[in-house]
Every structure is written in structure tokens, then in C-alpha cells.
Amino acid sequence: MSDYRPGPLTPLQYLRNVTFYVHAAIATLLIGLFGLISLRDGRRGANRVGDRWIAHLAWAARIHLGLRCEVRGTPPTRDIIVAAKHQCFWDILMIAQAVPRRAFIMKREVMRVPVVGWFAWKVGCIPIDRRKGRDAMAAISSQINQRLAGDGLGQLIIYPEGTRTLPGERRPYKHGVSTIRASTGLSVAPVAVNTGLFWPRKGWGIRPGTAIIEFLPEIGPEAPREGFLPRLEAEIETASDRLMAEAGFTPIADQRNS
């Protein structure tokens, strides 16, 4: 469990959260609807709409919330697996903005949502049916290899923990990223974040500041499969702890040991 307990919002921060979410809802509806015509251009057109939407929400976050994002390291531009720490919706947006051909593995139900699901399909997101267990991973690997043999995969963004985590919280990394890496021969770009200090896991109570996402050195396909997952976890968690400490967060356990 995490010991992260942010204080209550001030009245002004509360008002800014409200205005941001109203703005974001209207912008999502309008950009999505007016962008439907771009779907005729396939993935390229859908990505253009995604670029506009993410850039607009990032601008709205600066204006309403005083929230910015700093990107460190070198975002990849070729076919690759992006394995990232996941603390909130903000890191989804900022990692997606940093790479040119983003795609996600996401729940099949999300991809059935009107407008949002249509764009998800077009940008190359891959649905997963978690009820199928190992068979689901085999199906995903097959789809990825088909795309690699076609017009390319892009930057496939995966969250190895499988869910959002609180600052200071750690969950075991799931084997999906290791399985996909082994079956495709792709490199893996680890990403560390401290976004959860500014944007809560459930999305309410956003605070001003500069969140950081950091692209770490890639792990190439030549790295041994044995020990890959512990290595990935250690690199992402160590770097994320460093970024959170830089922003002033120190877990209580660390304070007791100091």
C-alpha cells in the first residue's frame, strides 16, 4: 500500500478542477465529432486528430490547473514496446503525445465505445479480452506480428503493472510485456513517471506543478529473457522513485530509515 495522502483542495483549486473537466468534456466531444472525417485517411488521419486532442487538453491543463509536463530522455520513433509506470490519466496523455505513432493494448469494452473506440481502432490500439488469459496474449502477439509484417506497429504502450498505482505503491509486474517481447523480437523502452503527485489516480483533485515522464535507455532484443522482467521493474521503479523524490515526495518508510 502507498502512504501518499495529499491534503484537501483549496476552494480555488476545486473551482479550477471543475472548469477543466467541463472544458475537457466539451473539447473531446467537438474534436472527436469534427475529426470523424479524418478517419477516411486511416491511421494517419486518426493520429492527427489524436495529436490535436492531446495538445488541446495539455493546453487546457496549463490554463485551468497550472499543470505542465516535462519529457526527459529520447522518445522512440520506430516500432517498439513502450513499458511505462502508470499512475493516472495524465501519463497516458503525455506518453502518447511524446511518440509519433502511439497505440495501446486496451480492454475490448473500451474499443466498443462510440467515437472514442472508433479512433482507438484507427490509431492501431489492440483489444484484449482478459477472460481468455494465456490465449489472449497469444492473440495479441499474433496481431502485433501481422502489423510488423505490414505497415508497421508504431510505439505500443503497455503498463506492466496492469493498473494505476498511487505514488509509493508497488505492484508485481505482469508477464505480458515479456511474452510480447519474446514473440516479436522488439526492443522495450522503459518509462518512469511522477505524474501521480499532481493528477490523482481517480482523476479528481489535480494540482499545479510540473510532472515528469522520463524515457529510460532501451532494452534490446539481445538481452536475455531470463531476468528481463525483474530488470524492467527495477529500472522503472528506481527511476520513478527518483522523479518523485525530486518533486518532494518521500515515502514514510524511507523517512523512518533516514
Q: Is the pLDDT of residue 203 over 90?
A: no
In a domain, 30, yes or no: yes
Range of the domain at 46: 11-257
Residue 17's pLDDT band (boundaries 50, 70, 90)? Answer: very high
In a domain, 75, yes or no: yes
Residue 256's pLDDT band (boundaries 50, 70, 90)? Answer: very low
d(CA 87, CA 197): 9
pLDDT score at 253: 52
pLDDT score at 258: 40
Q: Is the pLDDT of residue 249 over 70?
A: yes
pTM above the 0.75 mark? yes
In a domain, 151, yes or no: yes
Task: Name the domain count of the chain.
Answer: 1
In a domain, 152, yes or no: yes
pLDDT score at 8: 79
| CATH code (residue 241) | 3.40.1130
pLDDT tens digits, 68-126: 999 999 999 999 999 999 999 999 999 999 998 888 887 777 777 777 777 887 888 88
- The torsion region of residue 44 among left (phi > 0), alpha (psi -120 to 50) and beta comes to alpha
In a domain, 71, yes or no: yes
Residue 2's pLDDT band (boundaries 50, 70, 90)? Answer: low
Q: Give 134 or 70, the one with higher predicted confidence.
A: 70
Q: Is the pLDDT of residue 252 over 60?
A: no
In a domain, 173, yes or no: yes
Mean pLDDT in residue range 63-72: 96
In a domain, 233, yes or no: yes
